[in-house]
Amino acid sequence: MTDVTTPQPTPESPIPTRERLLRAAAGLFRNKGYSGTGLAELLAAAEAPKGSLYHHFPNGKSDLALAAADWASEQMLVLIDASFTPAPTFQEGAKTVCYKLAKLFDKQGKWSGCPVSATLFEGPENEAFHQHAAKLFEGWITETAAHARRLGLPEAEARAAAENFYILLQGGWQLARVRRDSDVIRGLHLQMHTPASAPMQVQKNN
Amino acid sequence: MTDVTTPQPTPESPIPTRERLLRAAAGLFRNKGYSGTGLAELLAAAEAPKGSLYHHFPNGKSDLALAAADWASEQMLVLIDASFTPAPTFQEGAKTVCYKLAKLFDKQGKWSGCPVSATLFEGPENEAFHQHAAKLFEGWITETAAHARRLGLPEAEARAAAENFYILLQGGWQLARVRRDSDVIRGLHLQMHTPASAPMQVQKNN
DNA sequence: GGTGGAATAGACCAATCGGTCTAGGAGGGT
DNA sequence: ACCCTCCTAGACCGATTGGTCTATTCCACC
């Protein structure tokens, strides 16, 4: 979830080809979709020749897409953990996730979509792609639910809260993208379903 | 938002070519994305020759995409109006929208994405595409906000409630798609942000 | 019945697609 | 020095892409 767009081959840390490919793929797929990204463009962005691609990912574009989705998903999990672990409450953790994501969006001027969905939703109508996406998404929810439980939410509510948070995040992500306004994401936590909290008042930024 | 996938040239109502193209485009783009859909496949689905496409949409695929997004958006607006107009409260209207959408998904076995975002988010990085998508999305929100106002929500809350509903809908749509489970959408209204309502308890389907 | 525009039909095109394949370079092990 | 393996490099391929163009059909109108 860090800077994805630029491979930036820093002299002291020459990013290995395989990871350059992953980063370029994740970045491009997020912006232009799986089928919207050509191999030529991808290889140019990764500064890698075609031979390297098919060496590291024998099945070519589809292999790369799955791996790139994994990579991006992992970044998201790291962000989730980093946000919830030090949080005093689930609400606070969720808020931190929103703010971190919003900040990321601001930093990298591009308004990319969710990497996993962008990569895997279309692509070939391949069932493997769909199941892969499903697995990654459920991973986010499961991880979030674990934090919810740890932070004191009862078993039943924990999973529901995680799902709800995920839904808000995806929807907000999309609206933020279409408006190019990261404040949409920052405001999400105010909308969160809080089963046993005080009645909240609407305080959006517009 | 009705049956999109099958052009079905019923003998008594021979759907005009232009609309066959729109339906086929909306249906295919939802499933495979803009760049994931080839003209050949599209024309086959619409049972129209290439000449007709470029007659009705001089700029070809991109023109068709914009028009198809308009068409799909209009269907959505109809569904929104049909749901909110007879509703006694905003909550009830929103619930109806969810249920109608879920039913549609069940009926047409395919788990397509949101037509507007699928069509317009990728596609060419074209700025026109982005602005078109933004306009359509805001249209949904504005329409929903109008119903909210009509149903008694104070001005400030009306727009926020509409936005929140839209965010939930988009997020839920995506989760439902990845799980192939329309109940996700049916359960959305329970998650709705209800500024001044009684505390709600979590009642998800799993 | 003829005429003109709207619409249909599909052959055709350059460009690009994803993918294959061979050749060469880099570097450690012996 | 030699080899062997990992990786890079890009020429090359058939298939498919979106788009153009000409010919033909259809039908309302005079």
CA distance B177 to chain A (A): 9
| Spatial contact of B90 and B153, defined as CB atoms under 8 Å apart | yes
- Which tokens belong to B91? 């909550």
pLDDT in tens, A85-126: 999 999 999 999 999 999 999 998 778 888 888 877 776 678
Residue of A nearest to B31 (CA): A122
**Predicted pLDDT of residue B205:** 40
Question: What's the average model confidence in pLDDT over B75-84?
Answer: 97
| A83 pLDDT more than 90 | yes
Phi/psi-derived region of residue A181, left when phi > 0, alpha when psi is between -120 and 50, beta in every other case: beta
pLDDT band at B191 (very low <50, low <70, confident <90, very high): confident
Residue-by-residue DSSP string for B110-144: -----HHHHHHSSSSS-HHHHHHHHHHHHHHHHHH
| Residues B188, B194, B198: CA angle, nearest 5 degrees | 110
Q: Helices marked H in chain A — which ranges?
A: 17-32, 39-46, 50-56, 61-84, 90-107, 115-120, 127-150, 155-179, 183-186
Question: Dihedral (C-alpha) B3, B8, B12, B15: value to the nearest 10 degrees?
Answer: 80
Confidence check: pLDDT of A61 > 60: yes
Domain ranges of chain B: 62-191
Judge if the beta carbon of A51 is closer than 7 A to nucleic acid strand D: yes
Model confidence band, residue B196 (pLDDT cutoffs 50, 70, 90): very low
Q: Is the model's pLDDT at B125 over the cut of 80?
A: no
User: What is B62-191's CATH topology?
Assistant: Tetracycline Repressor; domain 2 (1.10.357)
Q: Which of A31, A160, A171 sits opposite B169 (nearest CB)?
A: A171
CB B136, CB A98: distance < 8 Å: no
Output the DSSP codes for A24-76. HHHHHHHHH-TTTS-HHHHHHHHT--HHHHHHHSTTTHHHHHHHHHHHHHHHH
Least confident range from A5-9, A144-148, A191-195: namely A5-9
Q: How far apart are the C-alpha atoms of B42 and B45, rounded to whole Å? A: 5
CB-nearest to B202 from A156, A170, A200 is A156
Q: Tokens 């104070």 sit at which residue?
A: B154
Structure tokens at B186: 């049916």
Contact state of B171 with A171 under an 8 Å Cβ cutoff: yes
Tens of pLDDT along B38-79?
999 999 999 999 999 999 999 999 999 999 999 999 999 999
- Average pLDDT of every residue of chain B: 86
ipTM for the complex shown:
0.86
* Min distance B119 CA to chain A CA atoms (Å): 11
